[in-house]
Amino acid sequence: MTDPQVERSIRNGSNQGLSLGTDVVQDTSGRSLYKEQQELSVCNEPRRPGCYIDTIDGRNTRISKRFSAGAPRNLPANLLFHTTP
C-alpha cells in the first residue's frame, strides 16, 4: 500500500520506527513452534531496539554515534547522557 502522508512522515524524519506484529504458536512448555510476521507498520519510536528505517532510496538516513566513548559500558544508557545542575 502507498500512502503519500506516511511517505512524507518517513522522509521528514517524524516517523522512522518500525512496528512488527508477529503471531507465535507455543507448546504447553512455552517453546515456540511457529512464528509468522502478520503486520509491519511505521511508527515514531519502535518497541524493539534498533527497528528503524535507516535507508531511503539507497541513502543512509540514520546515523548513530557514541559520544560517551570514555564511559564504562556497564552503565545504563540514560546515565551516560545525564547531567546534574
Q: For residues 40 and 53, what is the distance between their CA atoms, to the nearest angstrom?
A: 12
Residue 29 belongs to a domain: yes
The tens digit of pLDDT for each residue in 31-53 reads 999 999 888 899 998 888 888 99
Q: Tell me the pTM.
A: 0.55
Residue 9 belongs to a domain: yes
The tens digit of pLDDT for each residue in 47-79 reads 888 889 989 999 888 876 666 666 666 655 554
Residue 70 belongs to a domain: no
Residue 78 belongs to a domain: no
Residue 34 belongs to a domain: yes
Residue 76 belongs to a domain: no
Residue 72 belongs to a domain: no
pLDDT at res. 70? 64
Number of domain units in the chain: 1
* Extended strands (E) in the chain: 17-26, 32-43, 55-56, 59-60
Q: For residues 76 and 28, what is the distance between their CA atoms, to the nearest angstrom?
A: 35
Q: Could you tell me the residue range of the domain that residue 14 belongs to?
A: 4-62
